[in-house]
Chain A
């Protein structure tokens, strides 16, 4: 099977890229080229797997056996492939953006930055193709470790404090709850493999040796153990990690970290518990309402937050809860919505972060309250902000519409009016925290001092950064038309068709 080798190469390419980047410390241009080439190769390799998965092929690759029956194994499946595609595509775009950002901010240790970026992508692609919980867990932890030096890149005491919260919460939750959940699953079922229909269910009945009550506890452990999904009360690392350079925030929010969190929860919902298990046994209620609370509370915090990046961080926490809700209601509509929302949120949120980064680089502004009037200076950037905001909110003709639509429909199908209401309320709140800054940036009165210092010329960002923003903003709209294709891909999952 050639597909299985493609999987392995897709994982190894970023790793190899990291090595090459490390050897090119002295030649920055070549170093960044290596980064871009590695990203492009990874993207091509993952894209070449699309036909296979559409034909129903599920090639696998067994790397090694850690303990008897406990293997590191990769397998192609639709959700993972979709995630790998998003990660590798956004790695390419983020690298372009980073070149502009890191150079104009004149950061030190840029080689280290690109090395760990590539390592983070290795971990992400590895997790995307994981064929069992162990493999996923290994790459999940690896991603935390690989992103830590990126978060603390500047190394000041403020960065270190943020990094400390980051590593403690992410490693702490996964070492405590996630490991417990995996071990419990293993001790009940004797397997940790991702299987169509779940491993706790035998057809429509629960397997021996486990009660619905225990399953509810296991689910809770899984969800809280996946700290990367940023469910309250384990969400604090995300705003704390905002000390990082903007490309890293983009990596955290759009490309890899939080996406891996919700991807893990979706995988567990589909392949460990099985589609429909939650509603059949009625065990998801607790997590469902935790997620709903997180959705609303973090959106309200976002409205009150004045720092641009922190506002976006709380917005991410809110948006992630949509995917957790999707994974818990777990009917075919919501799971589809969850998968789509990973892609939607990736492109729209990365646009917003790029905008925040550009505003910081060009005008040295970090606060929402200082945005007044800058839309007239940076029309392209702020227009992209508006488009991406529409996408996050879920306004039709942007991709975001579909995920909210499917999710609301799925919630209605599950007869859960409260959740349906919360989904709609969340969108309204998203409007409230994303659109007013854009409005005031176009129509607000700028501070006099600002116009004195910067005469009437434009203040747009350097070309590579602007290009990245425009591309992702266009993608946010293009996804409206691409969603049917994504749906076709995801419907390859057994039970979603």
Chain B
């Protein structure tokens, strides 16, 4: 009996855990409770994903109301994959955050951190598995509000400013999405995604549908930090507590991009690629994001900022795959959602370890730290290689698909910018590595040593994953290719 209700539990576990954290009003208990909850969710996500591999799609009708009228949860191979990613990343970051949060968040706010993280995760789970567009908006608001508050928990004096900026822009994005949802409801009379996809066909001359499409694209673009709507991201990532930055970088923007895929393809590939110039439009924006993000990263002196601008660039990579619009490009896009999440998570976690020991993430304060924290820096190097896209790391796989796709389409300018950005990333990431390993002036004091195992082990796990998924690609690239084929409605 309980088995049929598992999709609902996926969202409910963290959603219930959040108020419990508040009730206990104690950082440590809240932390342990959250870890238990997130690992339950992770196991559940694994189970559900395996189910989708067997049965294809899982349907769940909330409250027993049948599909077009009630809210439907629908898990297929693509969102099962994203679900697994988000649950997995969170399951690693929550234990990691136990130690570092004590240093980065005021003691009396610690239980708030866990309550909000649970809300964030619950919202993301909801966005991923729901099949109802209004429900998407609700969960999006839950996760967004939680992220604004999470960013503001940082002790950095600019944290509240960044959070406020994030709040303003995020709310504009959410409003756009709501308008889009409303217009779709007005024209098609339904909120169920599968239903919309059917009814919207043949309505493309309708200006309201076009407007809805435009509102959704811009709104989600804002949430996903697609250039030029990315200005909230660097500030939010660099001033937030590091565990929050890792969580947001690895899950939040990724889910927004997933949502972009979902919404855009509600209208069918023929409409968006042939009737509309979406392909050209978002390709140009993606490339601008890649180049501007990479170029700006060159001039940052805070490692978190460097990683944040690198995220802007990598969001560009992922969106570029959607712009390229063939099966190779989309495969690259989906697989890069997964691989970049892992690499960026590892990079932020490594920075967190540095912050834990030396209290700073400034590039000039880490001179010679490679000697004192060899494992942490080794993990950072692995993550950097993956971000650069060196073969045998996860980052190479998505890039390869994108490059091949650009060749097939004959888009030279795309190819050139893509490859140039790879070289730029060598420059901005190597600045950090060079400083960490070689110093001539003031080496780190002897008190600086490896972080506690509770931080180091999760970090090494994620770093190892970014090598594992660079070598064994049957899972990640295989699922991504299946997902891309399903989205485009072609067979592999």
A residues apposed to B, CB below 8 Å? 64, 66-67, 134, 137-138, 141, 145, 149, 152, 155-157, 159-160, 163-164, 167-168, 171-172, 175-177, 179-180, 183-184, 186-187
Contacts and interface: CB of A to CB of B under 8 A. Distances in A.
B477 A180 contact: no
A185 B465 CA distance: 30
B422 interface: yes
A168 B473 CA distance: 28
B388 A171 contact: yes
Given A160-B438, A179-B403, A180-B415, A67 B389 contact: no
Interface in B443-492: 471-473, 477
Given A145-B390, A179-B419, A155 B403 contact: no
Given A157-B440, A163-B434, A172 B403 contact: no
A64 B473 CA distance: 11
B422 A176 contact: yes
B477 A172 contact: no
Given A155-B438, A160-B438, A187 B404 contact: yes
24 contacts: A64-B472, A66-B391, A66-B397, A134-B391, A138-B392, A141-B391, A149-B437, A152-B437, A155-B439, A156-B440, A159-B438, A164-B430, A164-B434, A168-B423, A172-B423, A175-B388, A175-B389, A175-B419, A176-B419, A176-B422, A180-B403, A183-B403, A183-B407, A187-B408
B98 to A, nearest CB: 32
Nearest to A175: B422
Main secondary structure of the interface of B (DSSP, over half): helix
B407 A66 contact: no
A152 B436 CA distance: 13
Given A66-B397, A177-B419, 19 more contacts: A64-B471, A64-B472, A66-B391, A66-B471, A134-B391, A152-B437, A155-B437, A155-B439, A156-B440, A157-B440, A159-B438, A160-B434, A167-B426, A175-B389, A175-B419, A175-B426, A180-B419, A187-B407, A187-B408
B390 A141 contact: yes
Contacts of B390: 141, 145
Main secondary structure of the interface of A (DSSP, over half): helix
Contact of B423 (A66, A155, A176): A176
A185 to B, nearest CB: 10
B299 to A, nearest CB: 16
Contacts of B404: 183, 186-187
A167 B430 CA distance: 8
A172 B422 CA distance: 8
Contacts of B430: 164, 167-168
B59 interface: no
Contact of B407 (A145, A156, A184): A184
Taking each of B390, B391, B415, B472, which has the highest tally of chain A beta carbons within 10 Å of its own beta carbon?
A: B391
Nearest to A155: B438
Contacts of A66: 391, 397, 471, 473
Interface in B420-435: 420, 422-423, 426-427, 430, 434
B473 A172 contact: no
Interface residues on B, range: 20 to 34
Contact of B420 (A145, A157, A167, A176): A176
B14 to A, nearest CB: 35
Taking each of A141, A175, A176, which has the highest tally of chain B beta carbons within 10 Å of its own beta carbon?
A: A175
Nearest to B335: A67
B423 A175 contact: yes
Q: Top 10 A-B pairs ranked by shortest CB distance?
A: A155-B438, A172-B423, A187-B407, A176-B419, A175-B422, A183-B403, A138-B391, A171-B426, A156-B440, A160-B438
Contacts of B437: 149, 152, 155
Contacts of B423: 168, 171-172, 175-176
A137 B391 contact: yes
B326 to A, nearest CB: 12
Nearest to A135: B391
B427 A168 contact: yes
A27 B440 CA distance: 27
Contacts of A167: 426, 430
B400 interface: yes
A167 B431 CA distance: 11
Interface string B380-403: 000001001111100001001001
A137 B403 CA distance: 15
B400 A183 contact: yes
Interface string B405-425: 001100000010001101100
Contacts of A172: 423, 426
A276 B288 CA distance: 43
A157 B435 CA distance: 10
Contacts of A183: 400, 403-404, 407
A155 B472 CA distance: 36
A149 to B, nearest CB: 7
Contacts of B415: 180
A175 B440 CA distance: 30
Taking each of B400, B408, B420, B477, which has the highest tally of chain A beta carbons within 10 Å of its own beta carbon?
A: B400
B478 to A, nearest CB: 9
Taking each of A67, A171, A187, which has the highest tally of chain B beta carbons within 10 Å of its own beta carbon?
A: A67
Nearest to B371: A109
Nearest to A149: B437
Contacts of B392: 138
A414 to B, nearest CB: 32
A168 B298 CA distance: 13
Interface string B239-264: 00000000000000000000000000
Contacts of B434: 152, 160, 163-164
Nearest to A185: B407
Interface string B313-324: 000000000000
Given A141-B391, A176-B423, A67 B473 contact: yes
A168 B403 CA distance: 21
